[in-house]
Amino acid sequence: MFVYVCNRRFEQNAFGLLDDLYKIDQEKSYELLERPLKTWKNTTVFELADKANLMDFMQHGCCQTKLDKIWHGKLSTRTKMWQVALLYISYTASFYVTSFIFTIIVFVVLCARLLVYL
């Protein structure tokens, strides 16, 4: 029970510290989460919080933004909506063009086989 109370208190302190830093400078807070800690075998604060299952800490906006970056890869949360729409349209168009070309190839092959049998 004592360990749980101490763990909870340290989590609240870490959350408060991250919150204060996040309000002052968001970029520095992202760097804090991602910087390897030599005393912890180059593990980051974000990885430590994940391994310790510190859900309250991970609910902070800074951690959520980090998770968004992980999930979206290089697609930043600051990407403009028109860029996302353009990417979606170009991907969808390329899919339809590719499937159309594939359909034409299949049709030509089937017609050629049909002509062989006639």
pLDDT over threshold 70, residue 20 = yes
The count of structural domains within the chain is 2
- Span 78-110, pLDDT tens digits: 667 777 677 777 777 777 777 777 777 777 777
Q: Are residues 49 and 88 in the same domain?
A: no
Q: Are residues 59 and 102 in the same domain?
A: no
Q: Are residues 68 and 86 in the same domain?
A: no
Quote the domain boundaries for residue 56. 2-72
Look at strands 43-44 and 36-37 and give their pairing: antiparallel
Q: Are residues 40 and 18 in the same domain?
A: yes
Rounded Cα–Cα distance for residues 74 and 113 (Å): 47
pLDDT range class, residue 24, cuts 50, 70, 90: very high
Q: Are residues 51 and 104 in the same domain?
A: no
First vs last Cα of the chain: how many Å apart? 85
Rounded Cα–Cα distance for residues 44 and 34 (Å): 6
Most confident of 15-24, 59-68, 94-103: 15-24
Q: Are residues 41 and 65 in the same domain?
A: yes
Q: Are residues 33 and 89 in the same domain?
A: no
Q: Is the CB of residue 18 less than 8 Å from the CB of residue 60?
A: yes
Report helix, strand and coil shares of the chain as percent, to nearest 5. 80, 5, 15
Q: Are residues 26 and 49 in the same domain?
A: yes
Which pLDDT belongs to residue 111? 75
Q: Are residues 14 and 54 in the same domain?
A: yes
Which pLDDT belongs to residue 23? 92
The per-residue pLDDT of the chain, averaged, comes to: 78
Q: Is the CB of residue 8 less than 8 Å from the CB of residue 57?
A: no
- Span 32-54, pLDDT tens digits: 888 898 888 888 888 888 888 88
